[in-house]
Chain A
């Protein structure tokens, strides 16, 4: 072993790093997540989304305090009444207070959207990581399974399950949505894994003897957190729409549970559609705002995690 001599390579300096990095005394070091968060905060649209979503979450949390009536209690003397000082948004076909139902409805939408998203995320991340990491036969098997699931008409499948099951609870509803919507996410996560798998840091993790579990959870998932979060967020919006859609056609959470979809389904009645816009427009607006806010947040996250993506 010999040292380089100065004739053959231009500069041989002592081992101190020459690259003029400012001493980091004043400046705190930022992790990639903190940097992403800083970029997110600069995105105005995403902040608007956050404000809207937080307000809706607050409404749903404090619905008990804000509501003027019991949302499930019907009063047959007050069917399809217009707005009054007692019932700000009037009453529905069973004489239940629309305003209180609107407030409580946000709860169902958010709970269904959020828990279905978490559930799907768990299935999708697990299967996608396994498929992407192990490859080969395991990968083929999981991918054929997703093909199979995607070939089934999702909506019809969900409707079939719902109509077979005697009593629909929120938990069951969430399970049905999650079990039918995991294939997309699985594909995305598998694809991300495949692109990361050949990177040298993944090989490096293997070289130090890291377990499969560690490679997936310490090395893969933190690096895939961008696509995972973005897709999860957008998926949540989709699931809220899906819940409302099913409730609208009467296949969702059954009455008298207040949900925005249930409130919208009143609009199937031409009389209410024409004469009582105050009964269904707020519910529609609720869905619209929630989904829009979540999508803004999703887009903001996408830009934050991937600074290279297009920005005006």
Chain B
């Protein structure tokens, strides 16, 4: 992950699937009698990142940190306020719905809520065949075969295909969502907290399923979660978001063994430890996430940071590469 310092760099390296540059999403706040804009919620504020082919980038952050918004912008379910999105070599930022359609074949999303993400009026086979119907020229018979094949791949029975979503449990529905997302052989899949709504035991199964499918189909994942331990298993690299910004991004092992940003350190210290022989210091963050409509000046994290100093109030830290792909946005590490 390098921070681009000039706008002219639009050429994308061979092994990069997705590149995002200075992406912003400001939701206007309407107020007053005439509904004029009185402010903005800065859901995503200047995020740049790249995702390499075949890797899994995990994104963690509290609720409201803008991680889902970021994911939805990347596959153009939300319009970015500013910034650029590249898929392979193509700028997809401003494509119309119609022009976007061929790209949608290559990018899919699995949502968080397995009860809201499937159309309850469609049967399982209709749900899985719908993307094939829209995106491919397969005949009805071929679609049916493919759907059966997928059902089997995600661990459901063939006779489940005529059932409706309400007849399944959360974990099973999530498998249906995964089958639907994989139906058109996408290159890139966003998991928008795909296991957050599931029981821990089911979480493991779904995560393993996603990992297996990644190996089988050579998928690239953007895996969004609010839980560092979930992301740990599936990711190659992890980005930590706070208040719409990426504060630290690094290869998985670096993040977990050598967190640089105070926020990452606090998050890691809050993960329950199973190994009791290892003493860990708990860093408890005080206060709540500040309002994204009125973020603190300078470093957004300074209001809760135990190590904040004067400079943090005045100057916004940039996400800079410290060493070997480990980038952090914190003044404490500027002189290293």
- Could you tell me which A residues sit within 8 Å of B by CB distance? 1-4, 7-13, 15-19, 21, 23-25, 29-33, 199-201, 203-212, 214, 218-219, 222-223, 225
Asked if B205 and A199 sit within 8 Å, CB to CB, the answer is no
Q: Looking across the interface, which residue of chain B has its beta carbon closest to that of A206?
A: B77
Given the contacts A1-B56, A203-B72, A203-B77, A209 and B100 also touching, CB distance less than 8 Å: yes
Asked if B117 and A33 sit within 8 Å, CB to CB, the answer is no
CB-CB under 8 A from B180, the residues of chain A are 204, 208
CB-CB under 8 A from A205, the residues of chain B are 119, 130
Asked if B211 and A2 sit within 8 Å, CB to CB, the answer is yes
Beta-carbon contacts under 8 Å, B171-207 to A: 171-172, 175, 177, 180, 184, 200-205, 207
Q: Looking across the interface, which residue of chain A has its beta carbon closest to that of B161?
A: A29
Asked if B135 and A209 sit within 8 Å, CB to CB, the answer is yes
Instruction: Give the contact stretch, choosing among B7-15, B108-116, B258-266.
Output: B108-116
| Interface flag for B282 (CB, 8 Å) | no
Q: In the complex, what distance in Å separates the CA atom of A211 from the CA atom of B104?
A: 12
Main secondary structure of the interface of A (DSSP, over half): loop
Asked if B201 and A210 sit within 8 Å, CB to CB, the answer is no
Asked if A201 and B104 sit within 8 Å, CB to CB, the answer is no
| Interface flag for B298 (CB, 8 Å) | no
Cross-chain contact of B203 among A9, A18, A21 (Cβ < 8 A): A9
- Could you tell me which B residues sit within 8 Å of A by CB distance? 56, 72, 75, 77, 97, 100-101, 104-105, 107-109, 111-113, 116-123, 130-131, 134-135, 154-157, 159-160, 162-164, 166-169, 171-172, 175, 177, 180, 184, 200-205, 207-209, 211-212, 214-215, 229, 233-234, 236, 274
Supply 28 A–B pairs (Cβ within 8 Å), ascending by A.
Answer: A1-B215, A1-B236, A2-B211, A3-B208, A9-B200, A9-B201, A9-B204, A10-B204, A12-B204, A12-B205, A12-B208, A16-B155, A17-B169, A17-B171, A19-B169, A24-B163, A32-B120, A201-B116, A201-B118, A204-B111, A204-B117, A205-B119, A207-B108, A208-B135, A210-B130, A214-B134, A218-B119, A223-B119
Asked if B203 and A29 sit within 8 Å, CB to CB, the answer is no
A190 to chain B, nearest CB (A): 17
CB-CB under 8 A from A219, the residues of chain B are 119
- Of the listed residues A200, A211, A225, the one surrounded by the most CB atoms of chain B closer than 10 A to its CB is A200
